[in-house]
Copies of this chain bind each other. A is one copy, B any other.
Amino acid sequence: MKNFADTPMDIAINAAKEASEAGEVPVGAVITLSGEIIAVAANAMRKNADATAHAEMAAIRMAMKKLRSERLENCDLYVTLEPCTMCAGAISHARIRRLYFAAPDIKAGAVENGVRFFEQASCHHRPEVIAGIGEEKSRVLLNEFFSSRR
């Protein structure tokens, strides 16, 4: 249920929850521009039979379509899990201003873990990164999802 007091990260977590109910790995993403939400997406790899259908990719494409622009320069991205290498690359290409992510992904993350893409010379646009908001809620969702499949 949506609530007008929901923050962008709450909405991303809600999208992750809905994904989980549909059998998807629970990851949700939201993009804002000047405080307004312009895109909400969730992981849809299973639904779309597409291994690249991560929440961030979908949200970025949705926002570009909405703004009719290939640059999201004043946009902020909220995502419930640390972006992977593919998504970190997409975030940089899209020129996202600020990235908020909830839970770290030690195995496949590419921001604070893995290739730490935004710190590399081959990264030509670096968003500001804020980690940890909503971490506990996101982690619970992910743990529940994976433990129910074991």
Binding site for B on A (CB under 8 A): 45-46, 48-53, 57, 60-61, 64-65, 68-71, 84-90, 92-95, 107-110, 113-115, 117, 120-124
Contact = CB atoms under 8 A, between A and B. Distances in A.
Contact of A61 (B50, B87, B90): B50
A90 to B, nearest CB: 5
B85 A70 contact: no
Copies in the complex: 2
A115 B120 CA distance: 7
**Counting chain B CB atoms within 10 Å of each CB, which of A61, A70, A113 scores highest?**
A70
A110 B86 contact: no
Nearest to A117: B85
